[in-house]
Amino acid sequence: MPQLATQSEIESFLDRNPNWSRNESALTSEFTAPSFLAAIDFVNAVAVIAEELDHHPDIDIRWNKVSFALSTHSAGGITSLDFELATAIDVAASKIVGG
10 Å CB burial of residue 83 (0-12, 13-18, 19+) is buried
Domains of the chain: 22-96 (3.30.1360.20)
Distance from chain centroid for Cα 33: 15
Mean of pLDDT over the chain: 95
Q: Is the pLDDT of residue 2 over 90?
A: no
SS3 at position 31: strand
Instruction: Give the model confidence (pLDDT) of 22-62 as tens digits.
Output: 999 999 999 999 999 999 999 999 999 999 999 999 999 99
pLDDT of residue 97: 77
